[in-house]
Structure 1
């Protein structure tokens, strides 16, 4: 756990508290929208083999250089062009950290290997909800990964202090490397968007032949009326009309509704032709993926599609059955936007973005087609050497997914906490049974109920609580195993699946992918052997 202070932070996206709005049913669903995966891209990138500036025209907008500053070492270069300026991956690589970080608010770290040279790039001060990659993602140079913000320690505080803090670590950030002056590296790079390829996620359900319209988005006869619609709503309606010729009708403002979205001009309804067919459902899924992937650009607050409430940032849930296809949103996609004001007569709506994303997973727990936790086999846990207060939770933790048995979970907790010590604290501050760093617990941890199910927001509960700690460790192991399964099948990583999963827990999933297997760290190499050995006495 000592090496994962940062690299697990992105898991916060997988454990967001279930959102309950719009009178949802009492039984919420932890499934992701059907047919959708995770990550977003941007068309163009840079020519093959080139490095990309992290922002367009970055070298003309540097505000602070590498070196001593205010009595301490400034390990990077600051680039300031305003809140929301797109930030791009410097080089091809694998994301090893994405999420909360002290001083940075939110950060991303990408590990690179160019001609055998290992280095990492660091991107800091982004806002929550604007990270478009997660740990383990493979990215391309020039790929849109986040946007400029003012999170963390910036001067002056607030939007006026917005900038990208960019670092380069030769030898790798998590592998003992050191920060070097980024300027020589940046001077080797080219402008993002100068490539001719498409850096969007290969598995995206978005049609790769769809292109941006270019120029100002024109009005469309498919939009029933733009009167009384706010700017974000009009931009969405025009972009969908331009990119999806199958759509014939897009509704918007109405004077009276049970909710304020339509009367305020903040919502549109995209009617899906043949919604009851596979073709209609796929069209709706494609439109949802396109809009979700560009949710920040469009200022989306939430979607409803096929009875599922999908926030732009957060966890989706199934709503109550309202009785017909329209009320259940099977025949249309409802999109509500944040306040954006009303356009002037000559307002320029820009052009429709290309590419998009798919919706991130909702809980990090492996689920089957019925969206229920997959139960493991009866592991015949030997509880003789396990404290009584832990037995129930270790047994429940061993039922989250097939890859994590109760004895294995017991072995991990015993090893991590030096003999099931609830208040164990490592020299670097890792805490409790699973040795979670405070920043990690804020994303992975959560209070659980008597059945081991999440009952509190991310970061609630305690790493020293038997229930909270056991279930958090099990959920995280299962999410690692789930993510690693296709990588093992494709040959991207190799080795014993249990050892690969444990290596991800100890060193971070990105490190496993970077090295194609168990990383060559002495601690991790020992860890993947000693945990199963410890588990043997618990029935493993």
Structure 2
């Protein structure tokens, strides 16, 4: 397999320079493509200002209430609700009511998340064990911390909003033994909050007393205290590589550990010691000249080597983050259009210049036969490495796949724009879903990540068994807009003659009555 190389000079911002560990540089010629040629086979001191990926957690002190006494009302308990499991508790209060950290910890998530609108995930150590607390439904200006920041119990970290899948202004609060992003167990927060104190009322306390996370050479935290690091599913990569994917996936917010692992699988199958016919080397398949720009002695063994897991994977993370900074700049300027993640992957394969010249996804010749399939492969692989709930989506309880969870998975995205060709089992692409992209995601999540539907409504009609439309239950697929024997549309039945679907261009994911010509199939 041959790949194109397109030369382009990147004008570095300070953020890009920081990604590469460059000091005092404002411009640097960068080799834009990690390799030309084929695939070789199919993680101190509280006031330190080091990168969040180098965080080491300290033990938390006592838990406190996440809102002050008298400012909110308890409105919804933990447990079964609306046909699924409510993984937390709700505290209703006016928009702008302060939210406080319940534990000392590090913000490993702070921003948009499907269903939550915005969320904050704090990772903490309680009695030597990992715990996450989750705070949801804030508006954009209601998130007062950033990923990688260290907080103390009682710090003002957010303000109540009414964002995401919310029926009124409130704080949705979760408590997870073992970690929200690491496949832990949600427990009733009220078993932890009963009788604990309200946050202290102090002058000026409504300003977030936040410090940057402390530096440490340790990365043996398995994602705890590493902003972004928890996005890797535990045990999905070889154990020696796991801490490095977590750390490399914490360099910048666009590039997650799961994406890096998926790309490495596409490159080398996560097999060490490989060299392609064109000279690309190691598990990340860098060409030597590109590795010379991005490689550092990350594992501290005294040498910079593409054959070392740490050096190779951290270089992969730096390069992907430099690509993301460049692509995002072009998208903001309007010279490039498309799904950012797909364009990052395409650039890693074919070079940023190819994306720039095409104004988006490159096509024609090798780009159509090699780069586009490569992008599709990496996106498909990412589900294998993504931590359940890493983007705030529905976490399916083991062994409890059900139609109600299919509906809940779809319900998270009510109001999401329709995007033709958008969506897959990992969620939205290009900022939205089309009809079959939504059903693909909902069935995959609701089945406990077991059932992968084909991409189009016509193909999905051939999965499962047909049932009378009047027998359609929550989670069944419903098909309409027929052209002969092929359906032109698909949605998800929710019962009562209603469905959730992504209708058409210019519209959004919504609940609506079933169409008059619809038929139903049961796949779960």
TM-score normalized by structure 1? 0.35
TM-score normalized by structure 2? 0.35
Which structure has more relative contact order (CA 8 Å, sep 6+)? It is 1
